[in-house]
Amino acid sequence: MILPSLLLVIVVTLWPVAQSFYNSLFDYRLNDPTRSQKMVNANIDLERYVDNYFYINGQLSELEGSAEGEQLESVQSARETIEGYHEELTSDPEINAKMEQIDEMLMNFEPISDSELKYTEVGKDFASDYRSALEDISAEFQTMAESIDNEQLAQSFEQTGSLLSGTSENILESNFIGFANYVKYFKDQRMWQSLWNTFYFTVVSVGFELVLGLGIALLINRAFKGRGIVRASVLIPWAIPTAVAAMMWGFLYDGQTGIVAHYFEKLNIIPSASWLLSTSDGGMFSIIFADVWKTTPYMALLLLAGLQTIPNSLYEASNVDGASRWQQFIKITLPLLKSAILVALLFRTLDAFRVFDLIYVLTGGGPANATESISVYAYITLFSQQNFGAGSVLSVIVFLCVALISFIYVRLIGSELFAGRTK
């Protein structure tokens, strides 16, 4: 009975994390055709290669017929180089057989849809050598074309050059780069900035939420009329979508029309009404303030539930002994509330650390990346830049941080979390 759920959880959460990690080892970009596949080894697109090679032969022969002197020499040496590499490629009987088959199919205008046939693995060094040789010759031909007066000859040099550079693109080098992406981000100022922003946001907002939440919980932990209304009104901020709340706060903070910005300016809390969303300190203040507004009620509810499990007799007994309110709070309430506080802190810290929608909608990470959290940075890299390899590094970093945080908390809470559930 557990199995289906467990499988689902594994397939859609554990597997993607592993996949993210695997992606992060590649230079993997969706918008670049030579890097849109993850390739551990170098490959050649044989279909295009065979097709191009046929034309290269023809072009070179034509150039040999019309060029003279130095130009003729360089064309001949180019042919030598290319044929050398081509022979090395065809010396592998398997590749040779594939190429012959493709050649035949191309003659008959059959499309090659079998990717086993279309792509073939080649040695890494061979691929990069061949590729750079083709590019060198292509560059040489292009510069030659510029210095030739004969227009027709210049044009055919240019054509051959671009044909060669096109061919070099069919030799796909491996985009497996190991931990190079990690090294890159290790040195990336923006990554550290966003990590710091996330950390700062988490600590400050969760800190405020805990203090305020505890205060509210203590205050409403008594019998009074209208509990239902109070409960509903504190639940509503929690229940509405963060993105909608962020839009709402964007309106309240707006430098021209925002009422909160207006009153804050009047009360001299902030230097000017536009300070909130157009300066880096203001931006950080804005997202923290909105987050505290949205999630303090949640914190208060969790703590209130913890408070209500503390037996009243303890307080009565301490009253008899003459304890002050403060002593009661320190000696009775806090120790008994410890596990509830830790659990609430754990959930809130993890939530705050992966903050995305609030920041993305309210400030977009701005101004000047001052409020960009690591999740926002990862999202921008993944989807705006379509750079899946590098973006995955950032997701893995978020994941590792979250794992570290929960490890620390679970150490603190330990078995209390599981007690009473596994029996």
Site for another protein in 335-364 (CB under 8 A): 340, 343-344, 347, 350, 353-354, 356-357, 360-361
Q: Residues binding another protein: what is the number (CB under 8 A)?
A: 99
* 234: contact with another protein by CB under 8 A: yes
Site residues (CB under 8 A) for another protein, limited to 373-412: 375, 378-379, 382-383, 388, 391-392, 394-396, 398-399, 402, 406
Per CB under 8 A, the list member of 40, 203, 211, 232 interacting with another protein is 232
**Residue keyed to tokens 């061919």:** 167
Tokens of 55: 């034309």
CA separation for the pair 89, 155 (Å, rounded): 30
* 208: contact with another protein by CB under 8 A: no
Compare residues 39 and 230 and give the one whose CB is closer to another protein: 230
Q: What are the helix and strand counts (H, E) for the chain? A: 21, 3
What minimum distance in Å lies between the beta carbon of 320 and another protein?
Answer: 15
* 270: contact with another protein by CB under 8 A: no
- CA-closest candidate to residue 137, choices 166, 103, 113: 166
CA separation for the pair 390, 28 (Å, rounded): 7
Site residues (CB under 8 A) for another protein, limited to 22-41: 23
Compare residues 97 and 408 and give the one whose CB is closer to another protein: 408
What minimum distance in Å lies between the beta carbon of 287 and another protein?
Answer: 15
Strands of 119-122's sheet, edge to edge? Answer: 119-122, 42-45, 171-172
Compare residues 86 and 354 and give the one whose CB is closer to another protein: 354
* 243: contact with another protein by CB under 8 A: yes
* 11: contact with another protein by CB under 8 A: yes
Compare residues 106 and 417 and give the one whose CB is closer to another protein: 417
* 317: contact with another protein by CB under 8 A: no
* 330: contact with another protein by CB under 8 A: no
Per CB under 8 A, the list member of 153, 298, 369, 372 interacting with another protein is 298
Concatenate the DSSP letters of all residues of 231-266 into one string.
HHHHHHHHHS-HHHHHHHHHHHH-TTT-HHHHHHHH
Cα-to-chain-centroid distance, residue 224: 48
What minimum distance in Å lies between the beta carbon of 62 and another protein?
Answer: 44
* 210: contact with another protein by CB under 8 A: no
What's the burial of 224, exposed, middle or buried (CB within 10 Å: 0-12/13-18/19+)?
exposed
